């Protein structure tokens, strides 16, 4: 039987689920006053993806706090992001309890982001299995390789844009690895790093199509327009810093032996957890996977 690993970007699913309902002030409190809207949405996304991709193994990756090696490198990294809403905070631990009830490993490492754990595990597992990374984060597309696909969440449940190497090239005109250099040049307003001031995605893509890499562009800087050359020369330090910030690490010290991620769902264990959290509307979802 072919091994197929579903790597779940837990943070992406949890935040997406929270804001999908919080915008309507639907927080779905338990009788003890604990909000569960994000966790319930997360479970729906998780089960829908398991039904859609039919994996043999599942692992869920998480951020472990806001301080990482990237914030040490650049103080302003993600500094523009507001603190998590009060109703979301108790759900960070709660969602991991629910994942645990499904006997799915929770993986995270202080000082690194969930993306780095996804990258490291994807690289490791791809040597012996097909890997699908489920996320809503376009940054993760850089991890696509011959044996690693990325499934981007679309509107609703069970809807995905699944990209492999060919699909990414058709969409962007670049290779997945070139996405790192693209972000290094154009910067990222969401993660709050600057790139090369005055160079946007269109110009950055065009330059990478012609010169392949940041190094290739700099080696041919005399061939750029006077304006482009000036912009690169003025932003050299920030360009190299931005590339480090944009690069997902695939060699962080995390591991999860594949047998531990084999799907072995104990329906009674899951239903006990649902009863504890008063997830009355999710029973039909569970029936799809166990």
Percent of residues in the chain assigned helix, strand, coil, to nearest 5: 50, 15, 40
pLDDT in the model for residue 249: 97
Length of the chain: 290
What distance in Å separates the CA atoms of residue 223 and residue 220, rounded to the nearest whole number? 5
Phi (first) and psi of residue 287, to 5 degrees: -60, -20
What angle, rounded to 10 degrees, do the helices at 178-186 and 165-172 form?
Answer: 30
User: Is 100 strand, coil or helix?
Assistant: helix
Per-residue pLDDT of the chain (290 residues; tens, 9 = 90+): 689 999 999 999 999 999 999 988 889 999 999 999 999 999 999 999 999 999 999 999 999 988 999 999 999 999 899 999 999 999 999 999 999 999 999 999 999 999 999 999 999 999 999 999 999 999 999 999 999 999 999 999 999 999 999 999 999 999 999 999 999 999 999 999 989 999 999 999 999 999 999 999 999 999 999 999 999 999 999 999 999 999 999 999 999 999 999 999 999 999 999 999 999 878 777 777 77
Which residue is listed with tokens 């990374």?
Answer: 133
Beta bridge partner(s), residue 130: 4
Domains and CATH numbers, the chain: 4-172+249-280 (3.40.50.1010), 178-246 (1.10.150.20)
User: Is 141 strand, coil or helix?
Assistant: helix
What distance in Å separates the CA atoms of residue 221 and residue 218, rounded to the nearest whole number? 5
Which of these, 218, 225, 26, 12, lies nearest to 115 by C-alpha position?
Answer: 12
Is-contact 283 148, C-beta < 8 A?
Answer: no
Which residue is listed with tokens 């996977």?
Answer: 289
Angstrom CA distances, 229 to 179, 211, 215, 252, stand at: 21, 14, 14, 36
To the nearest 10°, report the CA torsion of 137, 6, 66, 28. 90
pTM assigned to the model: 0.95
∠7-111-177 over CA atoms, to 5°?
A: 50
Q: What is the DSSP letter of 13?
A: H
Residue 234: Cβ within 10 Å count: 13
Beta bridge partner(s), residue 7: 59, 133
What distance in Å separates the CA atoms of residue 28 and residue 38, rounded to the nearest whole number? 9
User: Is 101 strand, coil or helix?
Assistant: helix
To the nearest 10°, report the CA torsion of 158, 178, 130, 5. -60
């Amino acid at each position: 039987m072919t091994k197929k690993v579903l790597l779940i970007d837990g943070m992406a699913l949890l935040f997406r689920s929270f804001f999908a309902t919080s915008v309507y002030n639907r927080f779905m409190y338990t009788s003890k006053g604990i909000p569960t809207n994000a966790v319930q949405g997360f479970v729906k996304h998780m089960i829908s993806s398991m039904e859609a991709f039919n994996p043999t193994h599942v692992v869920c990756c998480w951020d472990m706090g806001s301080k990482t090696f990237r914030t040490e490198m650049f103080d302003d990294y993600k500094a523009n992001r507001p603190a998590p809403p009060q109703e979301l905070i108790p759900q960070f631990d709660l969602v991991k309890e629910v994942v645990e009830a499904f006997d799915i490993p929770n993986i995270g490492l202080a000082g690194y982001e969930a993306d780095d754990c996804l990258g490291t595990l994807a690289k490791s597992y791809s040597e012996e299995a097909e890997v699908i990374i489920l996320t809503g984060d376009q940054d993760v597309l850089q991890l696509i390789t011959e044996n690693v696909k990325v499934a981007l969440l679309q509107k609703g449940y069970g809807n995905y844009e699944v990209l492999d190497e060919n699909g990414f090239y058709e969409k962007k005109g670049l290779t997945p690895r070139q996405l790192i250099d693209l972000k290094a040049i154009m910067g990222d307003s969401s993660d709050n790093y600057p790139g090369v001031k005055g160079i946007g995605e269109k110009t950055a893509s065009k330059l990478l199509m012609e010169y392949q890499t940041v190094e290739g562009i700099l080696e041919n800087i005399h061939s750029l327009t006077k304006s482009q050359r000036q912009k690169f020369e003025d932003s050299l330090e920030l360009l190299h810093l931005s590339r480090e910030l944009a690069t997902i690490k695939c060699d962080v010290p995390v591991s999860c032996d594949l047998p531990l991620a084999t799907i072995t769902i104990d329906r009674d264990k899951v239903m006990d957890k649902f009863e504890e959290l008063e997830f009355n509307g999710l029973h039909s979802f569970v029936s799809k996977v166990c």
